Structure 1
Amino acid sequence: MKTAVAEVSLSALKHNLLQVKKLAKDSKIMAVCKANGYGHGLIKVAEALSDADAYGVARIEEAFKLRASGISKSILLLEGFFSEEDIPVLSVNNFQTVIHTEQQLAQLEQSNLDIPIKVWLKIDTGMSRLGISINQVEEFLARLKACPNVSDDIVAMTHLACADEIDNEFNHTQIARFTRCVKAHNLSKTSVSNSAAVITNLFYNSTWVRPGIMLYGVSPMQNSSGSENNLIPAMTFKTKIISIKSILTGDKVGYSGTWQAKQDTNLAVIAVGYGDGYPRHAKNGTPVWLNGREVPLVGRVSMDMITVDLGPHSQDKIGDEVILWGNELAIERVAAWCDTIAYELLCQLTTRVEWKYINTD
């Protein structure tokens, strides 16, 4: 009996990329596949998203894995390089880099490269994370344009802090700051939109869009699911029932007895736990999908098992399939019950989980 399985639909990934193309039809698409393809498998994801114009990763190790798998398209290091020793490696492997500090710029100027590197200049418009301030842009641009190690086609980029909140006025503040900066410095190539901005059309005239979570069928917007935006969940996380038992009114379940039965009922023990990456902090009532219905988690999540209340008249059997999230049960709902976000659930599955890739095209 197979227990915890993460089934990834390559067809869903392709479908979701097509939705990005429909929404951002005038922009090039950088498919963000950092963090092991948001937990879906870096190489398989990149291959499925081959119709994207480029790939975005966080670390140089991820870029190496893509190149080693035979992927020749442009790859951008979204956090840039961390050491001057990385700079020749970027040049040789045709990796593009974000520049967001003066230290990076100085190291780039001091390098001696045969092949210049394409640079994306990150401008902080209010998120106060990575990026140079607007009043540094003139100096950075002058130095980048004078540097023989930098190719001519510099892309100006920023990141929106609140794009998942459609009515948040700070989105328009950031966009206005970026737009003024771009116009003041006559920058023709830009990138602003993450998944949320793509869906809400917050910045429609970017040269590049950088979708991430929406490619995996998950909504970047608060209080919504991917299906509401014509996205298909790429991952179905599932397992099996390994035990069924009857309990009486008043019986307590699990470590510390955090749940107590209000009626005589049947429980199923399910083969998944925090050892597989299922969230230990999932609350009583967190839904799982079983035989066409939702049933609630009861008791604490253990390393290898969870327990659900089947109800007093259940007909479920040992070996029946249980879906923890996927098409039948939106991961966004599960994340809400766990006081977290879908991104974290996807990225924290462990190596004990069996991975299966399907393609229905």
Structure 2
Amino acid sequence: MTLSRRKTLALLGGGFILAAGTATGLRVSRKPGTALEPWQQAGGYEDSRMNALSYAILAPNPHNRQPWLVDLATSDQITLLVDTNRMLPHTDPFNRQITIGLGCFLEVLRMAASHQGQRAEITTFPDGYDDAALDQRPVAVIKMIADPTIIPDPLFDHVLDRRTEKEPYDLTRRVAQSSLDILIQAGRSTTLSGSVDPADIAAMRAICEEALVIEIETPRTYKESVDLFRIGAKEVNANPDGIDFTGPLFEAMGATGLFSRTSALDSSTASFKAGMEAVLDNTRTAMGFVWQVTPTNTRLDQLAAGADWVRLHLAATGAGVAVQPLSQALQEYPEMTRLYDDVHKKLAPTGGTVQMLARLGYTAPVPPSPRWPIDAKIVNA
């Protein structure tokens, strides 16, 4: 039995932490007894740091790069670093999106600690930072402090259920303003906004569609995603990060050569064209949009954006609303400059940086027929 994506966190100095919530699913395929013991510890470690981390690694992050490194050498302390080998240099040249993912990680860790009666005292970038690129300096130092007065964060209840829904949404179901309000009220330190107005939806669908086309038709940015395709269980287990394609359909297509990283890059094929339409189908079924603005664009802003973003997504999970980031128009590379400027004029007219943009809706009642798998999994997880 091998572990699937986003299930373990390797520790600096040796050892690993298993993601919370995995034990139940693994019991059906492993024999009972001692073989199950490591999985039964998930979410229930004696070390409260490991317990909190087993939830934090379920946080959303771009392309599921899982860029976190953790050092537990100092008692009652967690040092979070970033793996600079897991950056996205073409679509995220300044590591802004990676930093947002690290902010998501820290917020889920904080929530998990609150449910253990502990306060996670987080000091971010204790040795400073560079806005141009992340480096080997710590992202954060977290001290776990027992606090009987702490109030458990209610959004934590949805951590194990949160998913990024990457299928077409139900065009017959509108997102109510009251549901949108629940999402945007979940933030604490950034400005969350959104719209379910049909005119705004149409305008944002068009912008997001054009941005997706630009990313896919720009060879280096598209190849960055394709290089992270994990086709079939064997590849996923060997590299449990990136963009996974598993299940009987993808196993068969991978085994027969119908789907490979090479074929995915060939824009002359019918499968590529069908894949492009599949991506755009998702954008075209947006039934609302939500976005996030910070006053500036420092690393501290980006970490705050991540914290509020995962809070929004957890609130959406609780409200039954599906969310999928569509942040291509926010990416800082030359081919996207015009759309980047257009989005900022529309969504941040008084200034600031739009950090995240996502579509909202409800999953369709009947799953769509299998399609060539260039689905919108190419966007942030």
When normalised by structure 2's length, the TM-score is 0.22
When normalised by structure 1's length, the TM-score is 0.23
More strand by share: 1
Computing the radius of gyration from Cα coordinates, the structure with the larger value is: 1
Report which structure shows greater RCO (CA 8 Å, sep ≥6).
2
More helix by share: 2
